[in-house]
Amino acid sequence: MSQTLRVGIAGLGTVGSSVVRLLDRQSKALASRTGREIKVTAVSARDRNRDRGIDTSSFKWFDDPVALAKSPDIDLFVELVGGAEGPAREAVEAALAAGKPVVTANKALLAKHGMQLAALAERTHAALAFEASVAGGIPIVKTLREGLAGNQIDRVYGILNGTCNYILSRMELEKLSFDECLKEAQTLGYAEADPTFDIGGFDTAHKLAILSSLAFGTAVDADAIHVEGIESITLADLEAAAELGYRIKLLGVAQRTAKGIEQRVHPTMVPLSSSIAEVMGVTNAVTIDADAVKELTLVGPGAGGEATASAVVADIADIAKGVRSTPLGLPVASLDHSPRLPMQRHEGGYYIRLSVFDRPGAAAAIAMRMAERQISLESIMQRTRPGRRSPVTALDRVPVVLLTYATSESTIREVLEAVVKDGYIAEKPQVIRIERE
């Protein structure tokens, strides 16, 4: 390897262009910190003529990222193409097979093929670094893999998607509907034209799969994660949560329990007093519960060109210094492949909102159903429709909000199924889990 670290970058979108600018801007400082010059020498992008705000005249261009990954003109391959399959996967595999270190921000690729890629990196003694794949500029991968190596981690949870956090924040603060906030997020570029990957919770699940592997020494398995999005959250839920002392966030939660490792992504009520409840807008946050440090929360920009580029360049600098960590913290052969805990066995408190027909004894009958399954209720809120002047009819509905103490997911589902069959409610029940401190 030459004294100069020759970097090839595949993908010159927002992040890729920011990486080029950051490496140029910090070239002297990086050379001093790493002991060698770091220089972009080759790139691959779909459109050579696009104005990216960077000077690309000195770079060798490759139309095929796989050819770039194999090229003897580079010492390190940076994959910023995106996607779990196609050119991104093929190029990363080609670089690792050739023994070249790889830096990637591709959480979808790692969530689906992380085990195979880590094993390939181990066989060829090539670095595989991916700090930018989770939570943008927050150094959560290094924190879990190296910084907390002396801790037993019991829980990792956090806000891992800025789009969802922005929508929920705007709904709460501006009293807007979900659809209004989603449209605004799309206008500002926080959400894609098809926002399903973000608002459906799948982006968060991919990131959680990576964090769970690092935290608990388990195989990366995004398919084992229970996933719910924020599409069903209404302004009424946010207002009720605030009245009860909570705030609703889309959380990814990976937790060690006596029954196994629990992994879930869903809207969650967190106490207003918690640090994670204070994180608003597009910001991300990750909280780690461990035996030595107790609780550690990292907060910062979860996306954006500069923030993500910061994480990419940090990985490049490590490789320039000769730092090569085992990609997933433990050798692939040592990772635990035991089945994950099914969601039905999750235990915790629950917020339940029901649209109940306004009939005498309806709320009491629902409470009785809860008692039959030994579900203890922390509170019940029933509100009549304000300003109603007409007589009550059999079709009138009132919102009833129940807050339960700890119980199991399966028990909650059984009770609600019975309540629906009893004919007391007019709509599908809203269920939100509670994550207490």
Q: Delimit the domains of the chain by residue range.
A: 5-133, 140-301, 344-434
Q: Which pLDDT score, from 0 to 100, does residue 347 have?
A: 85
* C-alpha span between 320 and 276 (Å, rounded): 35
Tokens at 297, concatenated: 């929360």
> For 15-72, how does the pLDDT look when each residue is reduced to its tens digit (9 = 90+)?
999 999 999 999 999 999 999 999 999 999 988 888 888 988 899 999 999 999 999 9
**CB neighbours (10 Å) of residue 144?**
25
Mean pLDDT value of segment 221-248: 94
| CATH number 3.40.50.150 given to 344-434 | no
Which residues are known to be catalytic?
207
- Kindly tell me if the per-residue pLDDT of 132 is higher than 70: yes
Categorize the per-residue pLDDT at 345 as very low, low, confident or very high, splitting at 50, 70 and 90. confident
Structure tokens at 111: 């969530």
The pLDDT assigned to 389 comes to 46
Measured CA to CA, the distance from residue 348 to residue 334 in angstroms comes to: 31
Rounded CA gap, 183 and 287, in Å? Answer: 30
Q: Which residues pair with 399 in a beta bridge?
A: 355
CA 95 to chain centre: 27
- At 391 the pLDDT is 47
Residue 2, pLDDT score:
56
Task: Determine contact, residues 130/109, Cβ cutoff 8 Å.
Answer: no
Q: What is the mean pLDDT of residues 203-217?
A: 96
Share of the chain above pLDDT 70, in %: 96
The class level of CATH for 140-301 reads alpha beta
- One-character DSSP codes across 390-436: SPP-TT-EEEEEEEE-SEEHHHHHHHHHHHHHHT-BSSPPEEEEE--
pLDDT one-digit tens code per residue, 290-307? 999 999 999 999 888 899
Examine the pLDDT at 232 and tell me if it is beyond 70: yes
State the alpha helices, DSSP H only, in 125-254: 140-142, 162-174, 178-187, 196-199, 202-216, 235-243
| Confidence (pLDDT) at 437 | 66
Q: State the pLDDT at residue 258.
A: 84
Alpha-carbon span 132 to 73, nearest angstrom: 24
Look up residue 75 and give its DSSP letter: S
The 10s digit of each residue's pLDDT in 376-416 is 988 888 765 544 444 444 457 888 899 999 999 999 999 99
pLDDT exceeds 90 at position 158: yes
Decide if 5-133 and 140-301 have a common fold: no
CATH 3.40.50.720, domain 5-133, yes or no: yes
Binning pLDDT at 50, 70 and 90, where does residue 150 land? very high
Q: What is the pTM of this model?
A: 0.91
pLDDT at 392: 46
**Span 116-125, mean pLDDT?**
97
Mean pLDDT of 113-136: 96
pLDDT digits (tens, 9 = 90+) for 89-98: 999 999 999 9
Average pLDDT, the chain: 92
Pick from 184-193, 220-229, 269-278, 391-400: least confident = 391-400
